[in-house]
Amino acid sequence: MHFTDEFVSGLEKKIHIPPADYAMIQSRNVCKMLKNDRRWYKEFGVYWWAMKDAIKKYALPYYKNFWFMGSFDDPLMKERARHGGEFRTVLAGMYLMSSKRLNDFSGYCDWTDANGLVHDYVVFDEDALV
């Protein structure tokens, strides 16, 4: 799923963490999840690539050799899923991850392009080897 900018603006109003700290705090929390089960990256769908960038930017030194610090990327989808800046894009990714109730780790999601067309997408990160 890919959210509209309007939807993300609504989420933004509900956050009580300062925007300057949000990506750092959430990316460090996600590191702990990924350390325990690398399949969690799939729950971020189209937002995984922005989340991975935030993790690489803010992760504690302890995580420097973990798989999620690797270089595999999907620049096209990362750009398509962007909601302005890092804060809003990570916010959308965290919402998607937390709203997926099944935790099926399939990596399947859909996204809507600028013309309103819906496309299928399966997130796959070679660095995860899952």
pLDDT tens readout for residues 75-89: 999 998 999 999 999
Domain count, the chain: 1
Number of Cα atoms under 13 Å in the Cβ half of residue 58: 22
Does pLDDT of 102 surpass 70? no
Structural domain including 64 reads 5-128
| Residues 71-104: b if buried by 16+ CB within 10 A, e if exposed | eeebeebbebbbbeebbbbbbbbbbbbeebeeee
- Whole-number mean pLDDT of the chain? 89
pTM, 2 dp: 0.87
Return the residue matching tokens 């997130």.
123
